[in-house]
Amino acid sequence: MRGKQQPTGVVRRSFLKRSAGTLGLAGVAGLAGCFGDDGGASSEAPGSDGEMIMKTSGETTAAYSMSQVISSSVSQNSDVSVDARPSQGTNRNVSEVVQGKTEIAYIQNWTANKIREGEEPFGDLEYQPYQVFHLYDLAWFLASANDEWTTVTDIESDSAVSPTPSGSGTAEMLEHALSFAVDDYERTSVQYGDQAGAMSEGRLDAGAATYVNLSVEPGWLQQMKSTVDLRVLNWPEEIVSELEDDPAIVVSDIDMSQFEDYGYTPDTLSTPTLAYNFIVREDHDYDTLTSFLETLWEQREALQEDTGLLAPMAEGEAWTKNAYTDIPFHPAAADFYEDKGLWSDEFVRGEEQ
Side chain identity at residue 296, one-letter code: L
Query: Would the pLDDT of 121 be above 80?
Result: yes
As a whole number, mean pLDDT of residues 42-63 equals 87
Rounded mean pLDDT of the chain? Answer: 87
CATH code of the domain in which 224 resides:
3.40.190.10
Q: pTM for this one?
A: 0.78
pLDDT at 26: 35
Give the Cβ contact number of residue 267 at 10 Å. 8
Does 11 reside within a domain?
no
Of the CA atoms within 13 Å of residue 99, those in its CB half-sphere come to 21
In this predicted structure, the answer to whether residue 35 has a pLDDT above a threshold of 80 is no
What average pLDDT does range 226-237 have in this prediction?
Answer: 97
pLDDT band at 43 (very low <50, low <70, confident <90, very high): low
Mean pLDDT is lowest, of 104-108, 254-258, 322-326, for: 322-326
Distance CA 263, CA 315 (A): 35
Coil/strand/helix, residue 326: coil
Rounded CA gap, 281 and 44, in Å? 11
Last residue of a domain, one of 274, 294, 314: 274
304 and 233 inside one domain: no
Say if 7 falls within a structural domain: no
Q: Which domain holds residue 262?
A: 138-274
Mean pLDDT within 24-30: 34
In a domain, 127, yes or no: yes
In the Cβ-directed half-sphere of 349, how many Cα atoms lie within 13 Å? Answer: 14
Give the pLDDT score at 239.
97
| Residue 12 in domain | no
> What is the pLDDT at residue 39?
41
pLDDT confidence band for 62 (50 / 70 / 90): confident
What is the mean predicted confidence (pLDDT) over 212-232?
92
Query: Sign of the C-alpha dihedral, residues 272, 321, 349, 67?
Result: positive
Rounded Cα distance between 55 and 140, Å, is: 22
Last residue of a domain, one of 274, 289, 315: 274
Q: Among 48-62, 84-98, 156-170, 196-210, name the most confident range.
A: 196-210
Torsions phi, psi of 78, nearest 5?
A: -155, 180
Mean pLDDT to the nearest integer, 185-201: 94
Query: Residue 1: inside a domain, yes or no?
Result: no
Rounded mean pLDDT, 165-172: 80
Give the strand pairing for 160-162 and 206-212. Answer: parallel
Confidence of residue 270 (pLDDT cuts 50, 70, 90): very high
* DSSP letters for 229-280: --EEEB--HHHHHHHHTSTT-EEEEEEGGG----SB--SEEEEEEEEEEEEE
Q: What is the rounded CA–CA span in Å between residue 156 and residue 97?
A: 41
Q: How far apart are CA 308 and CA 212, in angstroms?
A: 11
pLDDT at 250: 86
Residues 6+ apart with CB under 8 A from 315: none
> Does one domain contain both 142 and 270?
yes
**DSSP assignment of 139-188:** EEEEEE-STT--BGGG--TT-EEESSSTT-HHHHHHHHHHTTT-S--EE-
Instruction: Give a yes or no: residue 152 inside a domain.
Output: yes
Residues 122 and 87 reside in one and the same domain: yes
Measured CA to CA, the distance from residue 303 to residue 312 in angstroms comes to: 10
Report the pLDDT value the prediction gives residue 236, as an integer from 0 to 100.
96
What integer pLDDT is reported at residue 12 of this predicted model?
Answer: 44
For residue 347, is it within any domain? Answer: no
Same domain, 176 and 297: no
Q: What is the pLDDT of residues 281-325, one digit of tens each?
A: 999 999 999 999 999 999 999 998 999 899 999 999 999 998 998
The set of residues, in sequence order, having a beta carbon less than 8 Å from that of 103 and lying 6+ positions away, is 46, 47, 51, 52, 53, 54, 97, 280, 281, 284
Number of domains in the chain: 2
Task: Please state which of the ranges 5-14, 96-105, 153-162, 166-175 shows the lowest mean pLDDT.
Answer: 5-14
Mean pLDDT to the nearest integer, 255-272: 96
Any domain includes 351:
no
